[in-house]
């Protein structure tokens, strides 16, 4: 398990009856790999894990493991209302072939540091897999401070990375100052990726990569290689879409982008509903502008040969 590069936070494709579309999930995963991603993260926020039953989550992991056949690791995001359920999910995902974990704080309950540390520790101790800590205080109301991340890294050797989604790029430098190269730091918000890499991040858990994998991989590479002019040219073009990853309806918007360019369906599970009206029009306009204004430096993603069922 190498914690580096671009790892998609995969969306989950649904059939018309809102069951998981496993054939499309498999092909979409393979397409991401073909375009250069270094791993696949399933069951995260963007994957709508909160709407899935326990067995559905495991079936999804199994589909992805079969689909990529060892070409890249499959990472299972671990989230639950209770620590016991999170531990059970981690063990079951490991049994299904997951090669890494991404650990979220508990849903709903916003605990103090002692409680959050105990929750994370229980998951880290549940399997021999290495793991990434997911810090997203905006979404979950729990903030893992740099000093607390350092404490976890000191005590748990299988904690290898942190996904930093606080939206504050200074967190990257703060964590790096405390842990050095002990942890890989991933940027978790799409519209801060170039700034995050410049601050010392070495990975990207990306959202719009679900629709534009090659463009995402190229942006990460250019920024990592300090090719500033080329990186910012591609970044400026990409930003109107990347900003969709940072708003409350990011799942609906990213899935709508996938549908607009025929690499997925906009279907989401309730309580989310597909965007309509002005939101839909604005999303379509942003996609059309991106297609029309693609810079010469942008290498388009290869074609996804299997499309989601038509609406």
Q: Considering only CA atoms, which of 252, 257, 264 is closest in space to residue 238?
A: 257
Distance CA 231, CA 220 (A): 8
Q: CA angle, 144 as apex, 222 and 180 as ends, to 5°?
A: 50
Residue recorded with tokens 């549940």: 126
Give the phi and the psi of residue 134 in degrees, each rounded to 5: -105, 115
Catalytic residue numbers? 134, 163
């Amino acid at each position: 398990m190498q914690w580096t590069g671009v790892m998609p936070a995969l969306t989950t494709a649904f059939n018309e009856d809102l069951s998981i579309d496993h054939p499309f999930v498999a092909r979409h995963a393979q397409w991401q790999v073909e375009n250069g991603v270094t791993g696949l993260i399933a069951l995260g926020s963007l994957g709508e894990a909160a709407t899935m039953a326990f067995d559905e989550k495991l079936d999804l992991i199994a589909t992805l493991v079969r689909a990529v056949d060892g070409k890249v690791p499959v990472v299972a995001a671990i989230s639950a209302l209770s620590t016991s359920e999170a531990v059970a999910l981690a063990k079951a995902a490991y049994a299904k072939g997951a090669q890494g974990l991404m650990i979220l704080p508990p849903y709903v309950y916003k605990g103090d540091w002692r409680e959050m540390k105990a929750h994370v520790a229980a998951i880290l101790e549940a399997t021999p897999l290495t793991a990434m800590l997911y810090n997203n205080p905006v979404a979950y109301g729990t903030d893992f401070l740099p000093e607390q991340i350092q404490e976890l890294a000191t005590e748990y050797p299988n904690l290898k990375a942190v996904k930093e989604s606080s939206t504050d790029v200074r967190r990257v430098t703060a964590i790096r100052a405390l842990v050095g190269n002990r942890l890989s730091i991933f940027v978790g918000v799409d519209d801060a990726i170039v700034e995050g890499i410049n601050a010392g991040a070495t990975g990207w858990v990306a959202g719009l990569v679900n629709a534009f994998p090659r463009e995402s991989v190229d942006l990460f590479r250019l920024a990592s290689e300090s090719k500033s002019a080329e990186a910012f040219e591609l970044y400026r073009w990409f930003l109107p879409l990347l900003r969709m990853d940072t708003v409350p309806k990011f799942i609906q918007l990213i899935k709508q982008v996938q549908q607009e360019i025929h690499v997925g369906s906009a279907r989401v599970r309730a309580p989310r509903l597909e965007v309509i009206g002005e939101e839909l029009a604005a999303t379509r306009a942003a996609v059309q502008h991106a297609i029309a204004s693609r810079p010469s430096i942008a290498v388009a993603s290869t074609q996804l040969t299997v499309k989601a069922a038509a609406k």
